[in-house]
Structures are given as C-alpha cells and as structure tokens.
Amino acid sequence: MKIYHNPNCSKSNCALDLIKHQGIETEIIDYVKNPPSKAELTHILKLLDKSPKEIIRQNEVVFKENFESKDFNDEEWIDILVKNPILIERPIVIHNGKAVIARPAEKIMELIK
C-alpha cells in the first residue's frame, strides 16, 4: 500500500492511522516535500479515474490567488499540480492497482476488500 500523505492534515493522519491499524505494510510519501512526477501523477489520476481538476483543493490560497478564474487543459493542470503539490487533494491511497482519495478514511476499506 502507498499513501500520498500530508502530516499537517488531520484527514491524512486519520487515514494513515487506519492503515496502520489494519497492519498493512505502507509506503508513506510526504507529497508536499516529495511531489509526484508528471508521469506518476498521470498514473495516479488513471487509477482514481479522475481528471486533474477533480483532485484540486480549491480552497487553498495558492489556488484562489493564481488559478481560480483561469481555464487550463488537463496537461496544464497536471503541470500546475506537480509544481504546487499542496493543491493535490489528500490523502491518496493506492493498493493492488486501485486508488482512492481517503476522505473519509474508511474509503481505504474499498481497497482491501
């Protein structure tokens, strides 16, 4: 299992606690300090079956100040997310070729059924 985690986020910490409680070996990626590459983010989006715009945290100051009223294509949004990883919705959990945005944390259970 892999979790794209922000240790400053209560929802992300809750998801990580749930994973640990399940006893599943987990790779923890602090994606704000170590953002995914463009190829990696593209792969994550495919696993989530979402467009880049669907995983943007639109309440973040960075979004409101720089991107809110602008229109970009998917590739441009991916570039923006790679350069501004704080905008990526969290936490993203990947397991056995599937992924979820674990909000609420119980969505992780969909991956381990």
Residue positions annotated with a catalytic role? 9
Query: Closest Cα partner for 19 from 105, 79, 83?
Result: 105
For 2, the enclosing helix (H) or strand (E) is strand 2-5
> What pLDDT shows up at residue 113?
77
The Cα–Cα gap between 75 and 109 comes to 31
The Cα–Cα gap between 81 and 101 comes to 16
Note the pTM of the prediction, 2 decimals. Answer: 0.94
pLDDT tens digit sequence for 23-73 = 999 999 999 999 999 999 999 999 999 999 999 999 999 999 999 999 999
Helix, strand, or coil (residue 49): coil
Question: Does residue 10 register a pLDDT over 80?
Answer: yes
pLDDT tens digit sequence for 65-109 = 999 999 999 999 999 999 999 999 999 999 999 999 999 999 999
Residue 105 per-residue DSSP state: G
> What pLDDT shows up at residue 99?
97
